[in-house]
Structure 1
């Protein structure tokens, strides 16, 4: 993997472990936000979010099941955007009169920007041949040679 690809993957996911750490350090505030979701199970949701935010970036950077990790993290970003950044619920948002609605709008779009980057990781991972194929010898890619004697017919 090229240095550029490593740097790109790190830049794409670097915020997630810090976000997970923030949830641990500020557990009560994070729990309050999780409880604002229309879904139940705030504690389980918060713990799952922390695990996702710590585990998937490592998988993505070190290419350990990067497709699965990227899809899980992308789904997490979509869910977070819809559940916790519903900019459309703030009256006056479109008229520019609601700063809270505008902040949610930008956070919503940032989440989907991350989704796009994660889907590029998926696309790149699916398009890249397996690492072993890069190390194969040229002889492995050439047709087998048949000696001229092997192709001759034997008379009865």
Structure 2
């Protein structure tokens, strides 16, 4: 997929996350792999306001950005570590759904509430609360052995098939 197409897909799914109530305002961040680069939401932007040309290109190996005027999301380390440790990951979606956050305060894992969860998603584990934007959070999230998992907020890491996770 071309970088331009990835930018358009990121914009589409960022807006979808907002319309589905997964984030409010500048909360949450999204990235996708484009070769040796990841395209990441810019810091301080509401996801629904990001245009395709505003996603920040960050070199996955070095962490260097290709934008001098706009900073990447403050969770840049979590995204970088996820791509470095898991080369099959193609996208990281970090949102703040209220009900998931509430469940994370009550349970140590997300209980199977519907039969389809077992077949389609499997177990979703929780990462204990870790201070946001830190290397520790980046390390914990990148090494968690789940297709999807919950922490203080929800992050979904997807492999090659983005359609299945939409």
What TM-score do the two structures reach when normalised by structure 1? Answer: 0.30
Q: Name which structure has the greater RCO, CA cutoff 8 Å, separation 6+.
A: 2
Higher fraction of strand: 2
What TM-score do the two structures reach when normalised by structure 2? Answer: 0.29
Higher fraction of helix: 1
> Which entry has the higher C-alpha Rg, 1 or 2?
1
